[in-house]
Structure 1
């Protein structure tokens, strides 16, 4: 029996995506493994995420050349070394209620002879994969989001590399912050979940960390900074997630333009906090928004390893007919969970367990 696997990457790019595509392809087409199983595979990469499967014209060779990329072991051999996604991505939602193209999606999958769709993405991408599964298409999910907020898994691709980027950038900031006795407010991604800000702040030794899960008071932030004044440390680093909120207020919005999944663009909380600190304390304060730098660069060793494991797991799930499920890491073991359990809600920072509400930082008591 021969099956055709279509693999796509959706949503924001991040390091680890290319590695997952590589290991799906290598595991599916490995000649040594093929001799031991009854199923052979063809693998095609879909360009630009769900957009590729919606916009492709199966009867137009030029359209197919643009959106369909036949993959083999030689083509993907070095892919895991590089960040981003060689297949390209988009935030296209084929089930957008304002522009539902799910019928076109289903028709194209049928015309292209695709047996299984492997979707690598976050809640939005995997939500579309789940809806596709309910319509009778065999789907497999792989978790990807630098926010690490997907339910059903302890780890999502891209998170470790993003934390490393935050740590490295803050390490660089320390030299200028110390030289000028300045306060720096660093803004990370994290719309609803504060894992990036929390772990990035902890790893870089930030003095204050502000997360979306716990609203903050500017009075308390300034009080913490004033308590530090006069000690041997002449500067302070504050890390704030883009979705962090001032008590009683909403998130700071960069743009009210809504994407196909209904998300507005957040950003600017670091600027607001920095200006308030300087006005209230007269301490020289600057801000830095890391933005898409957190998505860039080469994947860390951990993301390369997880990409390998998840790619291999996806092919195992196909062979075991575990469709409508997502590859998952739980307590150090690779397993799978139903896609239904991974969407509709997010894995947020447990404030009582991981956050010090008095010092606005990670807890200094772990075992209780």
Structure 2
């Protein structure tokens, strides 16, 4: 920003509003931050900030609050993130060191991050390249139901039951399994949907309905493999901030539960020179998260997997950014990266 004093006033407005959730007036700014100018001068600067779309008056004759653009400018002007205290760093290390396996590490990480930031935390399972289909199995459960089992080379077995329109005898089940293995054996997981796209019309007519149901199940199972899985914690924290979501908190909660939106957003976020990425409110367009902010960073090889938080735009960005970065670094260390 070309005007240092206006940048200082914007920073003060953001900090005060995040702390109090109350619109900020010129007199309060002068008193709290001991600004060496009069209230009238601050009001003029606030009028200029409002004209630039950085702050807005939520009510007539009230103080001002930051807009999404105001938060963005504030975040961009954070030159360096404050390191966590020694006590916080020790707590992170001890908490993560106690994990038994990868699943436990993921669960502990999001719980820890939710506690540190008081926001909803999310983590993507480590991305491992080159995962392919090792085996597909179909088990007849009776009552016109098949259990579809997908075994990738990552070792994580995933399964899903499907209801059939008509029963299949053992020979037909074995035939369908053979057709599936011919298409999927050693295929990369991300190619499963395309490999099964024409399965229904390619199999004998008697297997058409079953092939469609099983193909749909395998597509879901492939997408649910480790590198596409998210673990969440702290969604209850968002309820404490429900008043910070102007329309409704429901779209945010639904986006977190669906995971597809979060996976897409996390994959698009590129961390900056400070080691974090921040998306603020309307920067996400018509996204269900357009009334929320997301702070994330990468971990693991090439920072390919993401860990971060979701919360209202009114958040303590410096502390949150520092916490996300610190947890990601300890996580990478614990995973041997």
Task: Indicate the TM-score class for this superposition, using the shorter chain for normalisation.
Answer: under 0.3
Q: Which has the higher contact order (CA 8 A, sep 6+)?
A: 1
Rg larger in 1 or in 2?
Answer: 2
User: Taking structure 2 as the reference length, what is the TM-score of the superposition?
Assistant: 0.28
Q: Which has the larger helix fraction?
A: 2
User: Taking structure 1 as the reference length, what is the TM-score of the superposition?
Assistant: 0.26
